[in-house]
Structure 1
């Protein structure tokens, strides 16, 4: 179910973006979105009735010039976006997620979790945490784990909060969309494998992040992050060529109209190139795969206010549009 049958206006950088849409009752299809929220059906424009957004990304280098031409061609048929339902822009095969990747956020967590008996002033402990973050950025590796594609939902769909989720929280994140197979790529070449960028809200149930029955096991990302609909994605994929600096974008999340997260990707400890390169050292990244780059300060745990039935989240990132999702209480099974 959608909060808005006609999505809110969501401007994006560049002359076009990619979307996955459907007419009422019809199948999903890949579309070109052009300024003025106009839609080009790429099945028709590219003469391929079986076309999907992921297939576009699998042939990204060859098709990108054609997409540029279609966006610039005023004779190509276009329809208003308001006639269509907006879905997650791509169905990935793999989802790579990141934690503890925003400097201020991690410093705040470090300061908040004071060790027993540590009576030093906050400014001293904060300076210590800052030094640790500098050392981590210079010497350590990103923290990446795997998510499930089945958790992805559309950018305007309702988010069902499972009855077992005691502390559901938001995490707005810049997401890189892979455009060609990548394995063992260097930091210097990593961005060449990124087709574009989109928005993800990587929801987490804080109560189930750590196993209570066996604490020595550590984190349980399956339980805490992968409920159906826990990753609203989109609305668009904006081509990387239209995003001048992915490390200088503003992320903003509002809860019921009140700003909760407001940070620049400059605050990332490991930037997009380092995240993509690191993930590719272990796994082969495939076209359409997602690399989520972590969430900045301002989560619900910070504010002491977790998600509940009826909450509306508005998330936006500079040049990538905006998403709006409403929380709905799940029914106990």
Structure 2
């Protein structure tokens, strides 16, 4: 089931490009998840049908309680990142045996139609990372890997934008900087366009993920290359904090982020993250 948060309420895409606006007492999917969950959208009455182009698509979850960022989770990306860390004198370095994660601000989430804003205090090295995002559907505390799928509402697309200069300072030991801050600026987590429910994907799912900047292909991989699969991530993260409905897990990004070629985002750029079976997330870039 493919669900949208829109400016006219929650919608279900019953046919490609055609939405059924649903009779639900919630204005976006985050509120639905904190209530009866996605099952209510399956049986909800259709108020009216509209074309996808007739509504403004919002982030599936407008304000997640938590956004959890998993790093170094594609082998290709881990290898290029560890090479950079070694060059910075951060050795010996190796691919982490357990998931590496950061918690960032839910206020960073924006809708597909909203631009990424280069912050005045850190505009020089803003970078993209296309990722599959998992949205939690049920409260999860210390769940077993074998049960993790029960806590998944569905998948969407995210651009994990970072201020690399702040991130580099944090990784060099500067106590005034943190990786979480580098990823938490307003507009740094474009999310969408829709939520595809978990029952549409069988683990281990194998989806093509591509990122383009101004039409140029920068990232191209498949989710079968994930080091730590989604059930493992949900189980692992739930041991460190309770996962709540609407929380977002960014599952990792493949090789090709701008930091490795000194190609950072500039005003006027267009970024597109495309994930097979989910859709395309497109964002413009503007100066503050």
| TM-score normalised by length of structure 1 | 0.78
Deviations 1:8-32 (A, max 9, x none): xxxxxxxx31111115xxxxx2222
User: What is the SS of the residue equivalent to 2:233?
Assistant: helix
1:31 matches 2:11: yes
In 2, distance between residues paired with 1:267 and 1:325?
Answer: 25
Contact 1:60 1:195 (C-alpha < 8 Å) held by counterparts: no
2:250 alignment counterpart: 292
1:265 alignment counterpart: 223
Question: If each structure's strand is expressed as a fraction of its own residues, which one has the higher value?
Answer: 2
In 1, distance between residues paired with 2:181 and 2:237?
Answer: 22
1:105 matches 2:81: no
Question: Kindly tell me: are residues 216 and 246 of structure 1, through their superposed partners in 2, closer, same or farther at Cα, counting changes over 3 Å?
Answer: same
Runs of 5+ in structure 2 lacking a partner? Answer: none
Runs of 5+ in structure 1 lacking a partner? Answer: 1-15, 24-28, 118-127
| Dislocated runs of 4+, deviation >4 Å | 112-117
- The structure with the largest alpha-carbon Rg is 1
| TM-score normalised by length of structure 2 | 0.90
In 1, distance between residues paired with 2:241 and 2:3?
Answer: 26
1:81 matches 2:52: yes
User: What is the SS of the residue equivalent to 1:234?
Assistant: strand
In 1, distance between residues paired with 2:246 and 2:209?
Answer: 22
Question: If each structure's helix is expressed as a fraction of its own residues, which one has the higher value?
Answer: 1
Q: CA RMSD in A?
A: 2.6
Matches within 5 A, 1:33-112: 33-42=13-22, 45-46=23-24, 48=25, 50-60=26-36, 64=39, 66-69=40-43, 77-90=48-61, 91-112=63-84
User: What is the SS of the residue equivalent to 1:248?
Assistant: coil
In 2, distance between residues paired with 1:233 and 1:295?
Answer: 14
| Alpha-carbon offset, residue 115 of structure 1 | 5.4
1:22 matches 2:2: no
User: What is the SS of the residue equivalent to 1:215?
Assistant: coil
Contact 2:213 2:269 (C-alpha < 8 Å) held by counterparts: yes
Range with greater deviation from structure 2 (102-111 or 296-305): 102-111
Deviations 1:9-67 (A, max 9, x none): xxxxxxx31111115xxxxx22222223222222xx24x3x453123213456x51x53
